[in-house]
Structure 1
Amino acid sequence: MALGLASRLGVFESCSIALLGIEDWQFRRPLLIGDTVRCRVEILDTRLTSKGDAGILRRRLTLLNQREEDIQAGEIGLMVGLRPSG
């Protein structure tokens, strides 16, 4: 659910190269029928790959319900292409 909502932002779609893994994913509360959910995306850090032609984003995704309660959360690494210089 969280990845689907985050992808609708359209921010990572044109530059994504590879999903690197999901870490420390926690299911904190149940997601109930009729709940309205949203996803908060936080960039925790960035770094260049060893070749320097791509970057690694460490992101924290948090799925929230209509009461702003955390339902699920975890870190998802993503490799992205760099913008052309100039």
Structure 2
Amino acid sequence: MTARYLEDFKVGERFRSASLTVSEADILHFAHLYDPQPIHNDKAVAKTGLFGDIVASGFQTCALSFKLFFETGIIAACNLGAPAVDEIRFLKPLRVGDTLQVEVEVIEARPSSKPGRGVLVLKYRTMNQTGEIMASMIIPHIVRRRPA
């Protein structure tokens, strides 16, 4: 893929990632390391809870969403980091066997006050295998501008 810079992105432009199926082992491993709540790592407790089985941490959904988009290569050459993740919404739980895909929309692209940088604001929508939106978030990425 050709390297993209701030100037190459247009408001309203959308991108789709590849898909990824989440296993029980994936959910348990993430929960063990980062979010050890019983709804994520204890099947017996989770069966009596709100979702009737273990579900992934919302933070795992966010991490997978970013991973899927980053692996498209669209911002690989220009991304310098992100100072925030805004407006995170968990609309449906991520369950064992769900297949995720991410659609990312450019909602703002503007130069930064710092030379050679810009701000690329992207809205992430994470969908399951039936197209239902499971999560959404807005990330303002700091990106490189096209070299002079």
- TM-score class, shorter: over 0.9
Give secondary structure in 2 for the equivalent of 1:6: helix
TM-score for both structures, normalised by structure 1: 0.92
**Residue 18 of structure 1: which of 76, 81, 88 is its match?**
81
Task: Flag the structure with higher strand content.
Answer: 1
Unaligned runs of 5+ in 1: none
Q: Distance in 2 between matches of 1:51 and 1:31?
A: 39
Q: Distance in 2 between matches of 1:22 and 1:47?
A: 18
Deviates more, 1:21-30 or 1:49-58: 49-58
For the pair 1:28 / 2:28, whether they are aligned, the reply is no
Q: Identify the residue that residue 135 of structure 2 maps to in structure 1.
A: 72
TM-score for both structures, normalised by structure 2: 0.55
Task: Flag the structure with higher helix content.
Answer: 2
Q: Distance in 2 between matches of 1:24 and 1:5?
A: 19
Name segments (4+ residues, structure 1) moved above 2 Å. none
Greater relative CO, 1 or 2 (CA 8 Å, sep 6+): 1
**How big is each residue's C-alpha offset from its partner over 1:31-59, in whole Å with a ceiling of 9 and x where there is no partner?**
11111110000000111011342110110
For the pair 1:41 / 2:104, whether they are aligned, the reply is yes
**Structure index of larger Rg:** 2
Matched positions, count: 85
> 1:48-63 maps to which residues of 2 (within 5 A)?
48-63=111-126
Q: Distance in 2 between matches of 1:41 and 1:51?
A: 25
